Amino acid sequence: MQTLLLWLFYISSFYAFIPGLITRIFGFRVFRRGTGNHEFALTFDDGPDPVYTPMLLDLLKQYEMKATFFLVGSHAEKYPDVVRRIYAEGHLIGIHNYIHKSNWLMRPKTVRMQLKRTDDIIYEMTGEHPTYYRPPWGIVNLFDFAKNSGYRIVLWSSMFGDWRTKTGSDKLAMRMLRKLKAGEVMLLHDCGNTMGANPEAPAQMLIALEQVLEEAKRKNLRSIRIDDMIKQERKSKNAQVSIVKRIVVSLWLLWEKAFHLMFRLETVSPKDPMLHFRARAYQGKAVILEDGSRLEKGDQVLELHFDNKKLFHIGSRSRSEMQLAIQMIRAVQKDLPTLANMVLERPEYVDVKGLYGVTMISRGPEQFGFQVQDLPSGWFASSTRIYLKVLLSVIHPKGQSRLKQGSQLLEPKMLIMPVDVLIERYAEKHNRHYRVTESDNVVEEHELTDLPISSASQGLSS
C-alpha cells in the first residue's frame, strides 16, 4: 500500500505539481509579464456574464482601453451576443476551458476536448480561432507544459482577490493602484458564477477598476491586448539583441586589429579592404594539389583572412543570402588579381607554393580556383569550428538561425589554391586577368546559399 501511495505521489508530482511549479516560479513556456514604457494589460477570466461583462465593456470603451477576455466555453455558449460584442469592440478573446475545472483533475484527452469545444464555439461566433489559453487557476499539467495544445499559455503578474465581495472596492482599488505600471499583466474577473467566487463580486471590481483607469489616464498609461504586449516584448528583445550584437562586433573588430598587428598581416587593397594575408610555413599534413604537386609541412603559403568589418557591413546591408553572396563574389574577384600581381612582383614571395585558408563550406569557392579539403580532426579543428560558428552568427543576415540549418555544412574546411593557378587565372602580367562578366555572377543557387558561410570565416582563419 505504501509503495502504491508513493508511486501515486511520484506520478501526480510529475503530471501536475512540478510543471505548475516551474511555470509559476520561472515563467517557463508561459507569458506572464510584458515590457514597455506606457502599456499594461487588463485580463478578465470566467466570463462572459450577461450583466457585468457589458458594464465592463462600457467602462473600457469610455476610457479607450483594450483588454483580453479568457472565456469559459459553457458561458460563451449561453451568451453569444456578449461574445460578439467583445470581439466587435476590438478586444482579444482567449480560452479558459469549457468548464471551470482544474487541469490537474482532468486527463490530457479531456483537456484537449475542452479546448477544442471552446475553440469551436468562439470561432462560430467571431469567425476567428483563439490562440491564447489560460488554464483555470493558472494550473497546468504535463501536457500543457509540453505545449502540445497549440495555444500560447498566458498567466499573470498580479492578482487581487477580486472574486470575493468581502475584499471591497476600496481595498481592491488600493491593491490595483500599487501594481499599476508598464508591463503588468493584471488578472481580474467579470463573472462570479464559478466555484469559490461570489456572484456579486464583479460589481466591486468595476467600481475599483474605474478608479484605476482614471489614474492610468493621468499617468499616461494604457491597457493593451495580450497579443500586442507579446509583440512589444519581442521587439524589445530584438532591440536588446541588437545592442549585444553591436558590442560583440566592436570587441571582435578590436581583436582583429590586435591580431593584424601581432602577426603583421598585409592588406590586398588598403583603400577598400577585403582580403588580408601573411606568409607563413604550412603546418598541416601533406596535401596533393590538383596540378599533381604536393604541399608539404614547412612549405611557404599565403594564409588568407577576410576583413571582418567589411563582412559585417555587407551582411548588415544584405536583405538575403543571395544578395550577400553576390556582393562577396564581386569583392573577392576584385582582390585576387591584385594579390596575384603582388606574388609575381615581390621577391619575398618567390617560394610561395599556394594560398591557404580555413572556412566552413563544402561548396562555392571552387569557382575561384580553390580546392576544398577536410580539416584534420584535432584541437585546431575544434577551436576553429567554435570560432567560425560565433563569427557566422554575428555576420550572417539570419544570425543564429543559420546555424540551425544543415549542420553538416558547418564544418571547417581547408581551402588551397596552387600559386600557379592564382597566377594563371588572375595575374595581369600573364595577360590572363580574370575579368568579371555578367555570366560570372550567374552561379548555381546552392552555391550562393553556401557562399556566405565561406565568407564568414575570418580565418579563412584567425
Q: So which residues are the catalytic ones? A: 45, 189
d(CA 102, CA 26): 21
Give bridge partners of residue 430 from the DSSP assignment: none
Residues 214 and 185 sit within 8 Å (Cβ to Cβ): no
Q: How many CB atoms lie within 10 A of CB 78?
A: 13
How open is the CA angle 183-130-212, to the nearest 5 degrees?
Answer: 35
What is the CA angle 332-251-240, rounded to 5? 105
Beta strands 300-306 and 413-418: pairing type?
unpaired
Q: Cβ–Cβ contacts within 10 Å for residue 202, how many?
A: 29
Residue type, 83: V
User: What are the φ and ψ backbone dihedral angles of 360, each rounded to 5 degrees?
Assistant: -125, 45
* pLDDT at position 382: 67
| Contact in structure between 69 and 182 (CB atoms under 8 Å) | no
Determine the 3-state secondary structure of 175 from DSSP: helix
Which one-letter amino acid corresponds to residue 123?
Answer: Y
What does residue 226 show for φ and ψ, rounded to 5 degrees? -60, -40
Q: Which three cell numbers stand for residue 49?
A: 456574464
Among residues 265, 269, 299, which one has the least CA distance to residue 281? 299
The pTM score is 0.55
In sequence order, the 6+-apart residues with CB closer than 8 A to the CB of 268 are 274, 275, 276, 277, 335, 338, 339, 342
Does residue 434 contact residue 337 with C-beta atoms inside 8 Å? Answer: yes
Local structure of 82: helix, strand or coil: helix
Look at residue 287 in the predicted model and tell me its pLDDT: 83
| pLDDT value for 368 | 79
3-state secondary structure of 354: strand
Contacts for 240-245: CB closer than 8 Å, 24+ residues apart? 245/394, 245/399
Cα(48)–Cα(194) distance, rounded to whole angstroms? 12
pLDDT of residue 397: 45
Q: Are 194 and 72 in contact (CB under 8 A)?
A: yes
Cell of 242: 541588437
Q: What is the CA radius of gyration of the chain?
A: 32
Rounded Cα–Cα distance for residues 289 and 285 (Å): 12
**pLDDT of 209:** 97
Is the Cβ–Cβ distance between 376 and 413 less than 8 Å?
Answer: no
Contact 239, 204 (CB under 8 A): no
- pLDDT for position 331: 79
Running along the chain, 462 residues long, what does each successive block of 10 average in pLDDT? 46 49 58 89 97 98 97 96 97 95 81 92 96 87 58 92 94 97 96 91 97 96 95 75 67 80 90 90 83 86 85 66 67 87 91 83 69 72 62 53 45 82 82 41 42 38 40
CA–CA distance, 302 with 306 (Å, rounded to integer): 13
pLDDT per residue over 163-204, tens digit each?
Answer: 999 999 999 999 999 999 999 999 999 999 988 899 999 999
- Burial (0-12, 13-18, 19+ Cβ within 10 Å), 442: exposed
**Distances from the Cα of 301 to the Cα of 233, 348, 435, angstroms:** 51, 12, 25
How far apart, in Å, do the first and last CA atoms of the chain sit?
A: 66
What is the residue whose three cell numbers read 532591440? 239
Return the closest-CA partner of residue 50 out of 81, 12, 74: 81
- C-alpha 158/C-alpha 283 separation (Å) is 63
Residue recorded with cell 575544434: 382
Q: What pLDDT shows up at residue 414? A: 81
Q: How far apart are CA 265 and CA 99, in angstroms?
A: 71
| Rounded Cα distance, 290 and 292, in Å | 5
Q: Of 83, 115, 88, which is closest to residue 99 (Cα–Cα)?
A: 115
